[in-house]
A and B are shown apart, each in its own frame.
Chain A
Amino acid sequence: MSAAQAPATDHTGTDAAGDGLSGPVVLEELLASLDDLPAQRPVAARMVQLTHDEGISAADLAGVAAADATVTARILRLANSAYYGLSGRVRTLTFAVTVVGFTTVRTIALSAAAGVDDPRAVPDGFWERSASTAVAAGELARRFRLTSPDAFCLGLLTGIGQALLHRADPDAYGPLLAGAADRAALVAAERARYGVSHVAVSAAALTAWSFPTDMAAAIRPLDTWPLGQPADGVDATTRCLLVAREVADRLTGWGPGPLEVSHMSGGRVDEVDVATLARRVPALAADLVRAVQS
């Protein structure tokens, strides 16, 4: 399908702009391309499908994953990463799946299926940001009465839209990202060129991949945040992700953002906590990056 033939929707309130590419068209194309994934990485796609079934056992899932050497290695590395505290002690794939949990396995399978696990296929610093966000979200989860694995996965997936935009527009997205002075500028630039922010793409991808609807719902408000909207009425998961992303942004050179973390978190996290996190996160994140990249 070409951009010219695509129907346009406007109820997102964003304007299609830029030359050649328009927002909804990009979104459509991206989501359409996700449907082709099973053909490229059938095992990973099958795993994504299986992880929806709560009745399936870790051994079943490991049995399927074993057919994809890359995914197998990644799950094992992830389970052995410092984040889970079991460094070097997870030797079987079944145990690895047990340790990291199905949601995380699905995330790994997805990034493989979507081809965003190849360092050349993602913008510079993509996995460092994603891993930092994931680790920070996992560490913060308790403050928001969330479960750490859910927060961790959401943190990992929040930025997946960037990888998808980069794949769709490889020549332009990298410079666009590099040229953004802060997160607000990035969102503005993404909307100007694609009509949507990468966060909206991430949320759409999650919906397309049949993650629980509340996960996409938690991500969706994130792109309004850099514009400085008040924190009232935002749910705990979103707040957790906001703070985690803020921590990651600061570690990777963006920030501090326009709002204080205490406001962002609804008073659950303060600057002292962020400073503590900032000391713990880099090593754990670096370990994670090594685990999820080929």
Chain B
Amino acid sequence: MTREDHLDPGVRQALLHAAEVAGDAVLVVRAGAPSTVAWVNPRAEEVLGAANDTVAGAPLGRVLDTPADLLTTTRGTSGRGSLRGADGTRTAVDVTSHPVPGGALWVLTAVPAQRRRPEAEAEAVQAVERRFTALAERTPVPTVLSDVGLRLAHVNDAFTRLVGLPAEAVLGTAWLDLVHREDLDVVTGCARTALEGTAAETFARLLTADGAERWVHLRLAPTTTPRHGSGFVGTAEDVTERRAFERQLAYQARHDPLTGLPNRAALFEHLQRALLGARGASPDLAVLFLDLDNFKLVNDSLGHHAGDALLVDVGRRLRAAVRDQDVVTRMGGDEFVVVCHGVGDDEEAAHLAARVLEVCTQPTLIGSLQVHPSASMGVARVDQGTTSAQDVLRDADIAMYRAKALGKNRFALCDAATRDTARDELRLLADLRAALEGTSPELHVVYQPVVALAGPGDDSRDGVAAGPLPVVEALARWTHPRRGTVPPDVFVPLAENHQLVGRLGETVLDAACAQLVEWRAALGSLAPQRVAVNVSPHQLGDPGFVDMVTGTLARHGLEAAALCLEVTESALVADPATTRQVLHALRSAGVAVAIDDFGVGYSSLAHLRRLPVDHLKIDRSFVTELAGPQADTDGSGALAGAVVSLARALGLSTVAEGVEHPEQARALQELGCTYAQGWLWARGMAGADLTDWVRGRAGGGAATADTRSLS
């Protein structure tokens, strides 16, 4: 029993009415050979231009062209067809067919196959697409379009020009054959990203028809078409020339133009990579830090061209002395660094260093002159404790300085002791730097009185001339928070070797000037007449030194005569021309100049005559010889005497240092020495203590026991 069996006649009538008034054409078709029209509704009559009576019984094919498979007995179907009008007109329709249970009839509904909205939209989309296609076609940038996967559906003329092949030869997946084998992975990876919906880009090589290789910047943007899966639109910009230029720049940034060797930056990269690659395990690396001995001499005597030629020659020899995987770099100047792989222990490293050193110190012809290069080399092996490129280079550098200190033209290994010492020094250096920058009282200045020795007719007490102190020497002191007192002979050279001595000197000068101003206020006419400040040879080389000195004096409102600068004899030897110039400038400003430690250096007397100097300071070692426990066996003090005579001959005054015993003071007095300083009178003391000391002396009771015994 079917649903229809329950229908009462009224409902049947209603359904028939619904078909009668339906807005779409309805046809009832009866099965047969051929199938025939059984009934059509008024709307169908209208379209066909024929009444139901005339079409009923006619073969279906006469009124409706439709696919053969439209009439199935089991299921509803649909398809395109056309209704044939009586006048020969055809109306395109979309037909749906439903078999009536029982198998003998179908109900067909035909609606005009009007242009459906999606089609109109598709056409609009196509119009847009045509515009974009035109754009892509005309752009000078090679452009590709895939419509599914990596399959190219379209390439523009610029792309075909780039690869030198017609479009047909690169469409589909054929273009992948043009991608350089080594770049295929990145290109497909890039395309994959685009296909997954994210724009992607990469650089890759394309092989052109003539076998050339072009670098392209491939930029792919995803596109999707409903039903079709994802594709991409991409540009392949030819960057071959730009890339070559960039590579050249990159090469230049990493290579030394003179020798063509990798430079410092490249060395750091290489070392860092090697350390990273080792991941905690020992990378078996040895670093050879090589510095040519006396290179400046070659440059100065033979000229820069010769120096350059020597550097090129040494670089070439180093390169030839090691294996391909080893790296030879020029750090700058006359420094080279060689990084060797596969060096397992110190013995191997030493063997390697000896060989490399021998190779690069062979005599060579520079121009027509035979030159015997010599080099000092430091060797550091990378061990598990080495964490950075800086560490290992510093170790090699430390060892190189040791090799130099040991007499040059040799190598030194950086062993644990050397490294510890050097690292300790580095820590100390860092502390010194911090102390100089900070305002803590770690670094401070003490003052040691310099007394005037009484001459034969002088008004004196205890052999010391009456009146104010002629000079007070300012001395830098460092009280380290953990190490305690660091001696000046440790921290002053440290400052000198690391460009800190200028700062140190300025600090001391400033403190000394301020102190002198204070003394003048506190002591009036008893205030020291002058303050003496030590100057390092490094400071004399600073072009701003004279200005700094005069500026500091002016800032404190002091006249130049209130200052005496003490210069070591060695400074005079190192760079006589500059030193003389600077001293002249200071002297003309009114500053007094003393030569410190006179007699231990190698001053030429002739030279001394031309120097603008006021005092010679007699080194303490000569004073020691005069009297006391370490005095000469004959106690003559010949050297001190010679200095005093010389000074007198040149019209200079003398200052004896390190006077500890009354006998020494007496001897100096007899020799005619002008001034003296030493523990006999006072050690270095704080500014305020010196105020008290001066007051004490003026009061007559504050002199030390030793002083009192001087007569």
Contacts and interface: CB of A to CB of B under 8 A. Distances in A.
A86 interface: yes
Contact of B103 (A5, A89, A147, A196): A5
Contacts of A54: 226-227
B275 to A, nearest CB: 35
Interface in A136-177: 138-139, 141-142, 147-150, 152
A54 B226 CA distance: 6
Contacts of B578: none
Contacts of A51: 227
A28 B69 CA distance: 8
28 contacts: A5-B103, A7-B71, A7-B73, A9-B35, A9-B68, A10-B33, A11-B60, A28-B73, A54-B227, A82-B173, A83-B173, A84-B148, A85-B151, A86-B149, A86-B192, A89-B192, A97-B229, A98-B196, A99-B229, A101-B229, A101-B230, A104-B229, A142-B153, A148-B148, A148-B153, A149-B147, A207-B77, A207-B78
Nearest to A85: B150
Given A9-B68, A89-B192, A139-B172, A103 B150 contact: no
Interface residues of B, number: 50
Contacts, number: 163
A1 interface: yes
A184 B27 CA distance: 36
Contact of B168 (A97, A152, A203, A276): A276
Contact of B59 (A11, A220, A273): A11
A28 B154 contact: no
Contacts of A208: 69, 75, 77
B162 interface: no
Interface string B223-259: 0011111100000000000000000000000000000
B229 A9 contact: no
A189 interface: no
Interface in A1-60: 1, 5-12, 14, 27-28, 31-32, 35, 51, 54
A200 interface: yes
B32 interface: yes
Interface string B145-170: 00111110110000000000000100
Contact of A148 (B61, B72, B75, B151): B151
B315 to A, nearest CB: 46
8 interchain residue pairs of minimum CB distance:
A101-B229, A85-B150, A84-B149, A7-B31, A12-B68, A204-B69, A85-B173, A11-B61
B149 A79 contact: yes
Contacts of A149: 147-148, 225, 227-229
Given A84-B148, A142-B154, A98 B68 contact: no
A102 interface: yes
B191 interface: yes
Interface in A207-257: 207-208, 213, 216-217, 220
A276 B167 CA distance: 13
Given A147-B225, A149-B229, A9 B148 contact: no
Interface in B177-203: 188-189, 191-192, 195-197
A39 B246 CA distance: 65
Contacts of A126: none
B604 interface: no
A5 B103 CA distance: 9
A6 to B, nearest CB: 7
A32 to B, nearest CB: 4
A220 B69 CA distance: 11
B80 A98 contact: no
Contact of A31 (B75, B171, B191, B227): B75
B601 interface: no
Contact of B195 (A11, A95, A200, A216): A95
A16 B66 CA distance: 19
B79 A7 contact: no
B74 interface: yes
Nearest to A143: B168
B104 interface: yes
A100 interface: yes
Contacts of B173: 82-85, 284
Nearest to A135: B172
Pick from A8, A9, A84, A220 the residue with the most CB of B within 10 Å: A9
Contacts of A89: 188-189, 192
Contacts of A101: 148, 225, 227-230
B650 interface: no
A98 B195 contact: yes
Interface string A81-116: 011111001100001011111111000000000000
Given A32-B74, A35-B75, A99-B229, 15 more contacts: A8-B31, A11-B34, A28-B72, A83-B151, A85-B149, A85-B191, A86-B191, A90-B192, A103-B227, A147-B147, A148-B148, A150-B227, A208-B77, A213-B79, A280-B174
Nearest to B150: A85
A86 B60 CA distance: 51
Contacts of A83: 149, 151, 173
Contacts of A7: 31-32, 35, 71, 73, 103-104
B180 to A, nearest CB: 16
A124 to B, nearest CB: 27
A26 B31 CA distance: 17
Nearest to B126: A145
A1 B104 contact: no
Contact of B74 (A11, A35, A102, A104): A35
A7 B71 CA distance: 10
Interface in B31-50: 31-35
B218 to A, nearest CB: 14
A173 to B, nearest CB: 19
B176 interface: yes
Contact of A6 (B34, B73, B79, B94): B73
B363 interface: no
B67 interface: yes
B229 A100 contact: yes
A147 B149 contact: no
Contacts of B147: 147-149
B206 to A, nearest CB: 15
A106 B154 CA distance: 26
Contacts of B32: 7-8
A178 B32 CA distance: 35
A70 to B, nearest CB: 21
B148 A11 contact: no
A190 B31 CA distance: 24
